[in-house]
Amino acid sequence: MNNWFKQIGLTLVLMFSAIGLAQAGAEQPVATDGQIWSQLQAGATGVTTSHGEFHNQPINTYDLRVLELRSDLLAPALMAALFGMIIIFVVFIKINGISKLHGGYSGKLVYRWSKFDVSIHWLGAIPCLLLILTGLTLLAGRFFFQPYIGEGLWAGLVYGAKQVHDFMAIPFMLGWALMTVLWAKNQLPKMYDLKWMMVVGGYINFGPFKGKHPDAGFANAGEKLWFWAFAVFGLVISASGMLLLFPNLFEPSRTLSLIALVLHSVAAIIITAFSIVHIFMATVMSEGGMECMVSGYCDETWASQHHNLWFDEIKENGTLKYKD
C-alpha cells in the first residue's frame, strides 16, 4: 500500500512540474528563424571550447563575391586551361603536324640530364599532374561534374581528391624548389631567344615559318618561358597552399585565407595551361624530345636541330659525352 501511495505522489509531482515548465516557457518569446539569422549576421556570439580567433562567432561571414568569383570565373577558367588547351593542341597537330627530325634518328645518344635531374623532374611532374586533376575536382567539380553523377559517387570523389591533393602538396613543393634553384642558371634569357619566339621555334610547318630552326642554347625560349612561369606561380601556389593546408600553424585571418584561395586558383590555372603546352611539346610535337626526361640522353640529331648552340658548345669545350 505504501509503495502505491508513493507512486501516485511521484506521478503528481512530475505532472505539476511539467505544467509549470510549460507555462514558464509560454511566457518567453520564441525567436523566429529570421530573427536568429539576423542576430548571427549582426555578430552574435556563442560558447565553444575552441581557442581560435573567431572561436565564439557561430557563423562564418565573408564577402560573397568570392564565391561568385569562384563559380563564375575561376572554375570555368581552370576547365578551359586543361581541356581547352588539349583541344587546341590536338587541332593544331592535326593541321600542322609535328616537328620531325631532319634525316631521322642518328642512333647516337648525347648526355643532357643527370639521373638526379631526371628524378627531381618527375618528383615535381607527377604530383603536379595529380594536383591539377584533383584541384579541378575540388574547384570546378561542383559546377561541372556533380550534376551528372550520384551523390554517393560525388562524395567519394571529392573525399579522395581532397586526400590526394593534400598528400601531393609537399612532394610538389620539394620538386618545385629543387628545379627552381638548380636549373635557373640555364634558363636566363638571351638575345637570340627573341628570334626563336618570332618564328615559334621552327615548329610551324607552313607559310614563312616552314623550315626555320632558330638558335637555342641548353634551353630554348619556350622552355625558359615555361620555367619562369613554373618558378613564379609555383611559389604563389606553394605559399598560398601552405596557408590553406596548415591553418592551425599559421592562423591566417579569414580575409587572408580567402585571398590565398583566390591566388591559389589563379596560379593553378596559369600553371595548368603551361603544363599542357609543355607536355604536348615534349611528348608529341618534338620527335625525340621525350627521351631526354626518360634516360637523360637525347639523340644527336635532336640536339643539333633544336639546341644547336648548346651542342656546339659542348663539342668545343670537350664535355660532349655519348651513351655507351
DSSP string, 206-258: SGGGTT------SS-HHHHHHHHHHHHHHHHHHHHHHHHH-HHHH---HHHHH
Kindly tell me the sign of the dihedral angle through the C-alpha atoms of 135, 140, 142, 146: negative
Residue with the larger pLDDT of the pair 25 and 207: 207
69-316 belongs to which homologous superfamily?
Answer: Transmembrane di-heme cytochromes, Chain C (1.20.950.20)
Residue 8 banded pLDDT, cuts 50, 70, 90 = low
- Strand runs labelled E in the chain: 109-111, 297-299
Q: What is the residue type of 56? A: N
pLDDT > 90: percent of the chain: 55
pTM: 0.80
